[in-house]
């Protein structure tokens, strides 16, 4: 009787074990590649627009720097004096890629950077928590509006976040290796991240803290001290070498670091309560899940959870403190990288995946949360990507009016138009609405608003383009000067449509 009762149970047990093994293997092998493909396809299909102002500025600067290096063409601007990242890091990469394949190739590089960010998020979550949490973290990350937005934005941010993510992955990995020497590789990545965008300085302490805490939990106090010491040593050594080189060849970088990052002056203060509300509207669900992870986490992992949540609050905290809304939305992509391991752990726990492989009774709740975030995130990314007006028609009209080496052009879409018409004009021909200085024929010097008014009155500009956007007050002042000068004719009103509604590019030509 005993043998008869035991025999039928063996094949049933083997089937269950085999099924779980095959399903687990499938989850391990295919989850991350499928998520990365999903991210790439979604970003490309959802986000289409002409060059953004910052994209045009950085790529154009990179092209100029490369032309100066290889063909000894003069640099007409001191980019290291006011860029928020070192101009010889990302702009050079962007400019080189643009020479090879245009704007789409530069944006493809940003997408590659953000795919690496997703892969690093998956790896960090898997090592700190478990496989199922890693799947949710990666999927949750690519559904974030700011992350999708950065996946198609050719600026400093994707490269900077990618380097920070790689440093974070190395920090976790170095805690798992038998020898501590891998920690030495963290410093160079952090220095490069800082060079790509000076705001990376905000997250460097968080990565060192993650390294120390993870090593302490997995290997003890001595290992944490040794590996953290090596990482800090490599960072200080590489940073010192970079500092010596910069002080020797390009000290203007210190001015940019101070004015754009460490001592940034807010041009237009925003309501702090309004900023907090905006953060909640954009990523409130993600933070709710992050806080929920505190309920599910084991006591041993609580410090890691709190550290990651705290790191993710650095960006919104800084913007609310400075009362500045500029770049807040894209900077939230940095916050989401630090928050997603915690949110993924919470989702896996809510869905019943935390302790056993087979889904629990509440797995639909996890799927529903991901679906809701997907709908919200895609709409956010689309809205962010359509906040600047498309300039294809504007470029066509301007191209009929400009000539290389002949004429001066004042444009509100200065960075974009200069980039789009880079093969038909020279750098010195363009002026924007952020800064202008002018010397008249009598030798009198003007700067700022007085310079614009005097230059328009003298007929200095051959072409003027306004659209009454961010620099509204300056645009209105210039429009009034145009009317009073009687020296310009309105030759075209180019319509456009963006997130804020319909508008026009107004174009005047000197009589």
In the predicted model, is pLDDT for residue 241 greater than 80? yes
Backbone angles phi, psi at 492, to 5 degrees: -165, 150
Q: Does 103 or 296 have the greater pLDDT score?
A: 103
Between residues 12 and 391, which one has the greater pLDDT? 391
Name the phi and psi angles at 498, rounded to 5: -135, -165
Give how far Cα 257 sits from Cα of 237, 246, 415, 427, 474, Å. Answer: 20, 12, 22, 25, 27
DSSP-assigned letter for residue 444: -
pLDDT at residue 248, rounded to an integer:
85
Q: Select the more confidently predicted residue: 354 or 30.
A: 30
pLDDT in tens, 18-33: 555 555 555 667 889 9
Q: What is the pLDDT of residue 320?
A: 95
507 within 8 A of 490, measured Cβ to Cβ:
yes
pLDDT-wise least confident of 143-152, 215-224, 259-268, 339-348 = 259-268
Is pLDDT above 50 for 495?
yes
Is-contact 135 86, C-beta < 8 A?
Answer: no
pLDDT at 356: 44
* Contact criterion met (CB below 8 Å) for 65 and 92: yes
pLDDT of 16 reads 52
Report whether pLDDT(357) > 50. no
User: CA-CA-CA-CA torsion for 80, 82, 87, 91, nearest 10 degrees?
Assistant: -150
| Rounded-to-integer distance, Cα 408 and Cα 488, Å | 14
More confident residue, 119 or 82: 119
With cut-offs at 50, 70 and 90, classify the pLDDT of residue 403. Answer: very high
Interstrand relation of 409-411 and 463-466 (parallel, antiparallel or unpaired): parallel
Lowest-pLDDT range of 168-172, 294-298, 362-366: 362-366
Predicted local confidence at residue 324, as pLDDT = 92
User: How much is the pTM?
Assistant: 0.92
CA distance 310 to 97: 36
329: left (phi over 0), alpha (psi -120 to 50) or beta: alpha
- What pLDDT score was predicted for residue 3? 47
Above 70 in pLDDT, residue 210?
Answer: yes
CB 95 within 8 A of CB 59: yes
Q: Which residue has the tokens 């990365």?
A: 36
**Confidence check: pLDDT of 17 > 90:** no
Provide, rounded to the nearest whole percent, the portion of the chain with pLDDT above 70. 91
Q: Angle at the Cα of 158 (from 34 to 66), degrees rounded to 5? A: 125
Torsion of CA 195, 287, 124, 196, to 10 degrees: -10
Which pLDDT score is estimated for 358? 46
CA distance linking residue 467 with residue 462, whole number of Å: 17
pLDDT in tens, 445-461: 999 999 999 999 999 99
| CA 158 from centre of chain | 4
Task: Look at the block and give the residue holding tokens 């470029």.
Answer: 395
Helix (H) or strand (E) holding 487: none
Q: In 10 A of CB 4, how many CB atoms?
A: 7
Q: Is the pLDDT of residue 505 over 60?
A: yes
Q: Report helix angle 363-385 to 131-142, nearest 10.
A: 30
Query: Which range has the top average pLDDT, 84-88, 103-107, 220-224, 281-285?
Result: 103-107
Q: With a cut of 90, say whether residue 267 has pLDDT above it.
A: no
* Helix (H) or strand (E) run with residue 53 in it: helix 53-71
- Name the residue among 322, 323, 320, 303 with its Cα closest to residue 311: 303
Per-residue confidence at 235, pLDDT binned at 50, 70, 90?
very high
DSSP 406: B
In the prediction, which pLDDT does 362 show? 55
Residues in the chain: 511
Q: Does residue 366 or residue 375 have the better pLDDT?
A: 375
DSSP labels for 213-224?
Answer: HHHHHHH-HHHH
- Weakest mean pLDDT among 8-22, 178-192, 279-293, 330-344: 8-22
Nearest-angstrom CA–CA distance, 157 and 449: 32
With bands split at pLDDT 50, 70 and 90, how would you rate the model's confidence at 12?
A: low
pLDDT class for 6, splitting at 50, 70, 90?
very low
Q: What is the mean pLDDT of residues 141-149?
A: 96
Integer CA distances (angstroms), 368 to 131, 215, 372, 375, in order: 20, 35, 6, 11
Task: Please tell me whether residue 298 adopts helix, strand or coil conformation.
Answer: coil
d(CA 146, CA 54): 16
Domain map (residue ranges) of the chain: 30-385, 392-510
307 is written with which tokens? 């550290």
Q: In the CATH scheme, what is the code of domain 392-510? A: 3.40.190
Q: Round the average pLDDT of the chain to a whole number and report it.
A: 91
What is the CB neighbour count within 10 angstroms for residue 250? 17
- 249 or 492, which is more confident: 492
- pLDDT for residue 363 is more than 80: no
| Better-scored residue on pLDDT, 154 or 364 | 154
């Amino acid at each position: 009787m005993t043998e008869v009762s035991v025999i039928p149970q063996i094949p049933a047990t083997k089937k269950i074990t085999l099924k779980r093994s095959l399903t687990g293997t499938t989850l391990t092998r295919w989850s991350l590649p499928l998520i990365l493909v999903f991210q790439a396809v979604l970003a490309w299909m959802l986000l289409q627009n002409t060059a953004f102002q910052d994209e045009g500025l950085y790529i154009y600067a990179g092209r100029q720097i490369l032309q100066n290096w290889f063909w000894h063409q003069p640099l007409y601007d001191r980019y290291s004096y006011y860029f928020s990242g070192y101009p010889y890091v990302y702009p050079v990469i962007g400019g080189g890629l643009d020479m090879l394949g245009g704007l789409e190739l530069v944006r493809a590089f940003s997408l590659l950077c953000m795919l690496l960010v997703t892969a690093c998020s998956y790896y960090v979550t898997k090592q700190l928590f478990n496989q199922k949490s890693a799947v949710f973290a990666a999927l949750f990350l690519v559904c974030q509006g700011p992350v999708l937005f950065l996946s198609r934005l050719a600026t400093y941010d994707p490269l900077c976040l990618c380097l920070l993510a790689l440093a974070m992955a190395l920090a976790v990995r170095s805690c798992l290796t038998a020898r501590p020497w891998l920690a030495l590789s963290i410093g160079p990545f952090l220095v490069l991240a800082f060079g790509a965008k000076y705001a990376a300085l905000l997250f460097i302490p968080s990565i060192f803290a993650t390294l120390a805490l993870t090593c302490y939990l997995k290997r003890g106090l001595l290992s944490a001290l040794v590996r953290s010491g090596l990482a800090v040593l490599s960072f200080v050594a590489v940073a010192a070498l970079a500092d010596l080189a910069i002080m020797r060849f390009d000290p203007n970088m210190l001015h940019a670091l101070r004015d754009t990052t460490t001592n940034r002056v807010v041009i237009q203060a925003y309501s702090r309560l309004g900023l907090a509300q905006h953060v909640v509207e954009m990523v409130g669900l993600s933070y709710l899940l992050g806080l929920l992870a505190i309920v599910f986490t084991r006591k041993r992992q609580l410090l890691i959870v709190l550290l990651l949540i705290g790191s993710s609050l650095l960006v919104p905290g800084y913007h609310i403190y400075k009362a500045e809304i500029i770049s807040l939305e894209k900077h939230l992509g940095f916050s989401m990288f630090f928050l997603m391991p915690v949110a993924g752990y919470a989702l896996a726990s809510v869905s019943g995946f935390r302790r056993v492989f087979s889904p629990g009774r509440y797995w639909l709740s996890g799927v529903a949360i991901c679906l809701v975030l997907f709908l919200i995130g895609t709409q956010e990314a689309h809205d962010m990507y359509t906040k600047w007006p498309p300039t294809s028609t504007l470029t066509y009209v301007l191209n009929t009016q400009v000539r290389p080496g002949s004429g001066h052009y004042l444009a509100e879409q200065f960075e974009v138009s200069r980039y789009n018409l880079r093969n038909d004009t020279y750098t010195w021909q363009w002026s924007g609405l952020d800064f202008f200085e002018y010397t008249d024929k009598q030798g009198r010097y003007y700067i700022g608003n007085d310079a614009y008014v005097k230059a328009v009155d003298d007929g200095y500009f051959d072409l003027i383009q306004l659209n009454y956007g961010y620099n509204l007050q300056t645009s209105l002042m210039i429009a009034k000067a145009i009317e009073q000068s009687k020296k310009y004719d309105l030759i075209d009103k180019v319509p456009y449509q963006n997130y804020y509604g319909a508008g026009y590019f107004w174009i005047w030509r000197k009589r």
